[in-house]
Amino acid sequence: MTGSGALVQSRGVKKIFHAATVFGVPGIGYQTMLEVEQCVTNALRRMDHPQLQTDDLRSIVFPMMGTGAGGGNVNVIAPRLIQAALIYLVANPESRVETVYFSAWNHRDLEACTAALKNLTDVEPIGS
């Protein structure tokens, strides 16, 4: 996690959470992490950490992690990212997180996110 530099003035961004969502394979290139959705869970958990309570973090934007240089299929990854956010929020009703956004930079990403939202089933906390 880092400060947001000039983004705090121009966009109201308070913090930037960094995540490694790909790894390099010699001779092959970058590959998406197997459990890329864990990055969503980790960021939301970090937002709720008591040390950040005074920062008043209420919303977060996630890109379609692992679908760029990692070459991951956005139609597979988008549902996993969205489901991870829902599972976290259902499992943590006291979370300070109010809004979770997923950025769709192109029509392909938008279609993948829209399809993922349409296909959601009931979400229950893990272990229930």
Task: Indicate whether 128 belongs to any domain.
Answer: no
Task: Indicate whether 124 belongs to any domain.
Answer: no
Q: What sign has the CA pseudo-torsion 8, 20, 43, 89?
A: positive
Task: Indicate whether 125 belongs to any domain.
Answer: no
pLDDT at residue 46 greater than cutoff 80: yes
pLDDT at 11: 87
Q: What is the CATH number of the domain that holds 79?
A: 3.40.220.10
Rounded Cα–Cα distance for residues 97 and 103 (Å): 17
pLDDT at residue 128 greater than cutoff 60: no
pTM, to two decimals: 0.86
pLDDT digits (tens, 9 = 90+) for 58-95: 999 999 999 988 889 999 999 999 999 999 999 999 99
Residue 123 banded pLDDT, cuts 50, 70, 90? low
Task: Indicate whether 75 belongs to any domain.
Answer: yes
| Residues of the domain holding 6 | 2-118
Task: Indicate whether 127 belongs to any domain.
Answer: no
Domain count, the chain: 1
For residue 48, which of 122, 98, 7, 9 has the smallest C-alpha distance? Answer: 98
Give residues with Cβ within 8 angstroms of 67, minimum separation 6: 32, 73, 74, 77, 109
Task: Indicate whether 126 belongs to any domain.
Answer: no
